[in-house]
Amino acid sequence: MIAAPPGELLRAPLFHTPRNPFQDSSALESFSDGGLLIRDGRVAGCGDYAALRAANPGVATVDLRGGFLLPGFIDTHTHFPQLRVLGGLGRSLLDWLEHRALPEEALMADHSHACCVAKRFVHSLVSHGTTAALVFGAHFAPATAALLEAADAAGVRMAAGQVLSDRNLRPELHQAPERAYRESSLLIERFHRRRRLIYAVTPRFALSASEAILEVCQTLLREHEGLLFQTHLNENVREIAEVARLFPWASDYLAVYERFGLGRTGAVMAHNIHPTAFELERLASSGAAVAHCPCSNAALGSGLFPLRHHLNAGVRCALGTDVGGGTGFGMLKEALQAYLLQRIAPDGMLLHAGHLLYLATLAGAEAMGLRDETGDFRPGKSADFVYIRPPAESPLAAVLEREQNPVGTLAAIFTLAGSESIREVRIEGSVVYRSDEGGTR
């Protein structure tokens, strides 16, 4: 991490969504000759460069024209131990878990391996422009600590927690409820609210959690303020049927979590591809958010996400990459996939670039309770941003030479920009990643 200078004015075209474009058609703001004024790591101004220049004559300008400034991306669902199982195509959820993901997750018992993966995982986040993430840790407390230490060392904004399960996985991934409580409590004490870290209580899913483990989650949330909660919900039809068999008293999948007070503000439920109308109604009134993971949903054949039904019911939605059920770390790609699947989903929505930017930034901040801190360039927020500049010979550079319309420019970035175009990433004004034509320095 490179410390930020006390004040600077960055000059480049910029985009952000300070409001929700699903509710406000003017939510996308763009400045073709934009300025982002940063003071002590916070956004002090955002708008036309010339006006900011005139009003702040003593501040040095950093000329970044040729590229674009966007708020840092926020990934609301991803699994740290699954980095090395990305690309396992051809399986559905339960089969994929058993044969591909869980054997790899068991390797997290080896602490030196976990430390190595943790560093690579955090580097993969920032090198794709992700400045905040809600992450499933490992089933092992030391490996989860390694992840949180790596995030803290890199300065990344992260909420994560030890994954809790006590049945139906592999025996080495199970914890007795007492141990789950003890280990989680120690991790909370050590990491919760340390700099940019938040602890997230993380039962894997109802399928691998007994009532006793869910009670532990409830107790942890009662005992500590400001924790987040994350789990999976309604991802796959076989999973849903199995949950119904395991919890015969529950009227639906969500009711399992609700029984223990876990459907609440600060909860992020991953996937929710197959909800009932009644579940959506309750999610909306509880304040819980849903992490939509379109790459994973397609790769595992889990289904098409009913975005319109979620939004009509008033459920907050953000985006997640779901490494390694998904296809990588790129939130630009994830947002593009959301667009593509909505184009073919029954009752799908036609998303424009402003929707994609919101889903990849401010929506994530809202889901993680960070709305006042990050997600857009409103003054007072942390200066968390991505500088995107396509390589000179790339198709994106060619498209942008021709494109004059800001919405078209942003759409081209979502369609064509990969990690090769991510040149600099900053959190609270400090550089957490920088590259030159493919190399990292």
Kindly state the smallest distance separating residue 243's Cβ from Zn ion, in Å: 15
- Rg (C-alpha) for the chain, rounded Å, is 21
How remote is the C-alpha of 137 from its chain's centroid? 14
In this complex, which beta carbon is closest to Zn ion, that of residue 322 or of residue 334?
322
Contact call for residues 174 and 167 (beta carbons, < 8 A): yes
Token look-up 């997750």 returns 105
Kindly state the smallest distance separating residue 270's Cβ from Zn ion, in Å: 5
Contact call for residues 377 and 384 (beta carbons, < 8 A): no
Binding site for Zn ion (CB under 5 A): 270, 322
How remote is the C-alpha of 136 from its chain's centroid? 11
In this complex, which beta carbon is closest to Zn ion, that of residue 80 or of residue 385?
80
Beta strands in 178-254 (DSSP E): 197-203, 228-233
Sequence letter at residue 403: E
In this complex, which beta carbon is closest to Zn ion, that of residue 162 or of residue 382?
162
For 39-56, give the DSSP string: ETTEEEEEEEHHHHHHH-
In this complex, which beta carbon is closest to Zn ion, that of residue 114 or of residue 300?
300
In this complex, which beta carbon is closest to Zn ion, that of residue 79 or of residue 174?
79
Distances (CA, A) of 373 to 175, 233, 263, 386: 35, 27, 24, 16
Other CB atoms within a 10 A radius of the CB of residue 172 amount to: 12
Q: Give, to the nearest 10 degrees, the angle between helix 353-360 and helix 406-416.
A: 60
In this complex, which beta carbon is closest to Zn ion, that of residue 70 or of residue 270?
270
Q: Who contacts 98 (Cβ-Cβ below 8 Å, separation ≥6)?
A: none
In this complex, which beta carbon is closest to Zn ion, that of residue 128 or of residue 232?
232
Q: Who contacts 104 (Cβ-Cβ below 8 Å, separation ≥6)?
A: 81, 82, 84, 85, 324
Contact call for residues 297 and 96 (beta carbons, < 8 A): no
Kindly state the smallest distance separating residue 77's Cβ from Zn ion, in Å: 6
Kindly state the smallest distance separating residue 239's Cβ from Zn ion, in Å: 11
Kindly state the smallest distance separating residue 325's Cβ from Zn ion, in Å: 6
Kindly state the smallest distance separating residue 86's Cβ from Zn ion, in Å: 13
In this complex, which beta carbon is closest to Zn ion, that of residue 270 or of residue 307?
270
Q: Which two tokens stand for residue 131?
A: 């400045």
Query: Which residue of this chain has its Cβ atom nearest to Zn ion in the complex?
Result: 322
In this complex, which beta carbon is closest to Zn ion, that of residue 129 or of residue 326?
326
Kindly state the smallest distance separating residue 322's Cβ from Zn ion, in Å: 5
Kindly state the smallest distance separating residue 19's Cβ from Zn ion, in Å: 29
In this complex, which beta carbon is closest to Zn ion, that of residue 279 or of residue 322?
322
Contact call for residues 198 and 158 (beta carbons, < 8 A): yes
Kindly state the smallest distance separating residue 292's Cβ from Zn ion, in Å: 12
Distances (CA, A) of 243 to 81, 251, 253: 24, 11, 7
d(CA 427, CA 1): 9
Beta strands in 112-176 (DSSP E): 130-136, 157-161, 163-164
Q: Which two tokens stand for residue 5?
A: 């200078």
In this complex, which beta carbon is closest to Zn ion, that of residue 162 or of residue 409?
162
Bridge partners (DSSP) listed for residue 74: 132
For 218-233, give the DSSP string: HHHHHHSTT-EEEEEE
Kindly state the smallest distance separating residue 413's Cβ from Zn ion, in Å: 26
Distances (CA, A) of 66 to 14, 291, 368, 390, 404: 11, 33, 32, 9, 14
